[in-house]
Amino acid sequence: MSDFPKNRVLNPCIGYCLFNDDSICAGCGRSRDERADWIFMSESEKQATVIKAKERLPKKNK
């Protein structure tokens, strides 16, 4: 059983931190600032960040 609240937004980091010229991480899609500010964000801010980050990542071929 987990001690974390059910609505907790998980950190999208996959351990592949490589930033492009726009300071966007190739692994998770977050900006440098979003990555640094993650621990200070509210759950709603984290959710919005995850949504934006997913939109920034290139679409993978299926």
Write phi, then psi, for 9 (nearest 5 degrees): -85, 125
Q: Is the pLDDT of residue 50 over 70?
A: yes
**Residue 37 belongs to some domain of the structure:** yes
pLDDT over 50 (residue 39):
yes
pLDDT digits (tens, 9 = 90+) for 8-30: 999 999 999 999 999 999 999 99
Quote the radius of gyration of the chain (alpha carbons, Å).
13
Q: Is 8 part of any domain?
A: no
Range of the domain at 20: 13-56
Q: What is the pLDDT of residue 2?
A: 58
Query: Is residue 33 one of the residues assigned to a domain?
Result: yes
34: which 2 tokens?
């979003």
Number of domains in the chain: 1
**pLDDT band, very low/low/confident/very high, at 36 (cuts 50, 70, 90):** very high
Contacts of 40 (CB under 8 A, 6+ apart): none
CA distance 45 to 27: 20
Q: Is residue 7 part of a domain?
A: no
